Amino acid sequence: MVTVKTSVRKGLGFGLTSGIITTLGLIVGLNSSTHSRNVILGGILVIAIADAMSDALGIHVAEEAELKHSTKTIWESTIATFLSKFIFALTFVIPVLLLPLSTAILVSVIWGLLLISVFSYYIASKQDANPFKAVFEHLLIAGIVIIVTNYIGNWAALI
């Protein structure tokens, strides 16, 4: 079995969950306000770059602020955060490009929730915690983001 360094696992976990939830919120909100494939694709690409860089820098500074990590460890977390957030955000481009928009939104939500579920289960199992509780908790948070951003998008379409 492959052993993943804590610094990389931290960056991967943060990047994956943040990338998925942020991108899903963006996709759902933009869809409900514009119903435009081009706007949604542009949003995904912008968030894949800007938010991945922002969160990678955030992890970098947070790790430095702990005053207990080596420079190498800090950069491992930084790079893992950027790459995981960037790559997972970009996976949402595929359904938006290939499917009718309403289907693409549904597939994106299912894909995102599946990824969060699998990673949550994996991490909880590694910690000897109840994986179903962790999956439920993380899916609940993602669901709230999806619902709220849908309503915000609907509201934005009215103004």
Domain ranges (residues) in the chain: 7-158
Question: Would you state the pLDDT for residue 92?
Answer: 97
The per-residue DSSP string of 77-140 comes to HHHHHHHHHHHHHHTTHHHHHHS-HHHHHHHHHHHHHHHHHHHHHHHHHHTTS-HHHHHHHHHH
**Mean pLDDT by groups of 10 residues along the chain of 159 residues:** 74 87 97 97 96 94 92 92 94 97 98 95 90 94 96 94
Question: Would you state the pLDDT for residue 102?
Answer: 96
Q: pTM of the prediction?
A: 0.89
Question: Would you state the pLDDT for residue 2?
Answer: 60
Q: Contacts from 57-60 at CB under 8 Å and sequence distance 24+? A: 59/10, 59/11, 59/14
